[in-house]
Amino acid sequence: MPTAPLPQRALRGHRPPRPAPRAATSPAHLAHLAARLTPRDRWLARMLHEHRVLTTHQVAQLAWPSERAANLRLLRLYTWRVLDRFQPFTPVGTAPLHYVLDTAGALVLAREDGLDPAQLGYRHTRAIGIAHSLRLAHTLGVNTFFTTLIAHARRTEDDGRLTAWWPETRCARHFGDLVRPDAYGRWTRTGRHSDLEWFLEYDTGTEPLPRLTAKISDYQHLAQATGIRTPTLFVFPTLRREQAARHALAPALSTAPTPLPVATTAHDIPLADDATDPVAARWLPVAPYHVEQRLPLAGLSTAWPDLLPPGPTGSGALPGTLQPPTPAPPVPSRR
């Protein structure tokens, strides 16, 4: 029996945007940028070098009061070739603009850190190539996790703030011989000296559960090698996927020689206050730690009473690489 054809709107491509005039990357243009780039602009360019791609909504969450204000500045940075952008195809509706670092932005950052641009390993074709990567959705999901934390801290400083955010590439340089987490983060509660650090495993529902379970032994080897039991947080797309993963993870954690702190959450967990950010009470530790109800992010340390407080976190920068940006944006200027 023939299947029903796709509706015409699903076959319709995006309306081609009007081309915006863009500056040529030249010494004169770089000199022109010296008087026009604000500390927030440079910080955003550094964030894009570190985390590869951010949508308009994510950029607004990071450092702007509204998406309109973010769009106005992003258009300037795009025109100056500090940033480049693309818009993925979606069958229904319109995807937001996605921003990556452009050539002029990379040159500015390299000179700012006293590096030769060739040392960065930056290639514009590689930066914009993420538009066609099969891991684009995964990268955006991880970045949304952290931009939401930063946005929460901007709204409510009493709950704490994000003080460290390492992407997958930086984690791989430091821990890649043992584990390859999707990210590393650290949350600090103001005035309480109760930092919580974690490795993030962001699941999209496509990875087989046995492969997911095998990561526990890798994290166990890291804990044995370093003497530090860093918690691992798993984020799942659905509650059903989370329950299946918890059932698979529990035996591996129960037989581990040293208890490994692990907690899980899912995107579709119903909460009374309709909270959607990771700070809310949506985390559930996995055995051998038994908790009857879900905990907020800052409250996970109470579920792991034998967990030692984390030590100081360095920048994670290697010689010849850019200094990573702080998760907190600089004080915005009037531009």
Residue 30 pLDDT greater than 50, yes or no: yes
Do 49 and 173 belong to one domain? no
pTM of the full predicted structure?
0.89
Q: Is residue 218 part of a domain?
A: yes
Q: Tokens at residue 190, please?
A: 């103001």
The answer to whether residues 73 and 205 belong to one domain is no
Determine, yes or no, domain membership for 331.
Answer: no
Same-domain status, 164 and 286: yes
Q: Which band of pLDDT confidence, cut at 50, 70 and 90, is reported for residue 11? A: very low
Q: Whose CA is closest to 233, among 248, 221, 219, 252? A: 219
| Boundary (domain end) residue, out of 102, 133, 164 | 133
Would 221 be classed as within a structural domain? yes
The answer to whether residue 146 scores a pLDDT higher than 90 is yes
- Quick one: pLDDT at residue 274? 63
Same structural domain for residues 187 and 295? yes
165 and 275 both lie in a single domain? yes
In a domain, residue 213? The reply is: yes
Secondary structure (DSSP) of 131-161: GG-TTHHHHHHHHHHHHHHHHHHHH-GGG-E
Q: Determine whether 178 is exposed, middle or buried from the number of CB atoms within 10 Å of its CB (0-12, 13-18, 19+).
A: middle
Residue 117 covered by a domain: yes
Pairing assessment for the beta strands 262-266 and 183-188 based on DSSP bridges: unpaired
- The residues with which 263 forms a beta bridge, in sequence order, are 233, 285
Mean pLDDT for the chain overall: 87
Which residues partner with 266 through β-bridges? 236
Lowest-confidence segment of 84-93, 212-221, 274-283 by average pLDDT? 274-283
Are 190 and 259 found together in one domain?
A: yes
Establish if 2 belongs to a structural domain. no
Distance, in Å, from the CA atom of 304 to the CA atom of 230, rounded to the nearest integer, reads 11
Q: Count of domains in the chain?
A: 2
- Identify whether residues 111 and 179 lie together within a single domain: no
Pick the more confident residue, 335 or 37.
Answer: 37
Query: Quick one: 182 and 281 in the same domain?
Result: yes
Q: Is it the case that residue 2 has pLDDT exceeding 80?
A: no
Q: Which of 118, 133, 148 is the last residue of a domain?
A: 133
CATH of the domain at 83: 1.10.10.10
- Which two tokens mark 297? 């992010």
Last-in-domain residue among 111, 133, 155? 133
- The CATH number covering residue 176 comes to 3.40.1350
| pLDDT for res 8 | 45
* 173 shares a domain with 95: no
Whether 198 and 222 share a structural domain: yes
Check residue 91 and give its pLDDT: 85
pLDDT given for residue 5 in this prediction: 56
Give the model confidence (pLDDT) of 210-266 as tens digits: 999 999 999 999 998 888 899 999 999 999 999 999 999 988 888 777 788 999 999
pLDDT given for residue 6 in this prediction: 46
Domain hosting residue 268, numbered range: 137-303
Evaluate whether residue 93 is within a structural domain: yes
Q: Residue 38 and residue 40: Cα distance in Å, rounded?
A: 5
Confidence of residue 140 (pLDDT cuts 50, 70, 90): very high
How high is the pLDDT of residue 315? 61
Whether 335 is covered by a domain: the verdict is no
What pLDDT does residue 263 have? Answer: 95
Which of 47-51, 153-157, 178-182 shows the lowest mean pLDDT across its residues? 153-157
Task: Note the pLDDT of residue 231.
Answer: 94
Please check whether residues 153 and 92 belong to one and the same domain: no
For residues 309 and 18, which has the higher predicted lDDT (pLDDT)?
A: 309
Same domain for 159 and 278: yes
Higher pLDDT pick, 159 / 35: 35
Average confidence (pLDDT) over 108-115:
94
232 beta partners: 199, 262
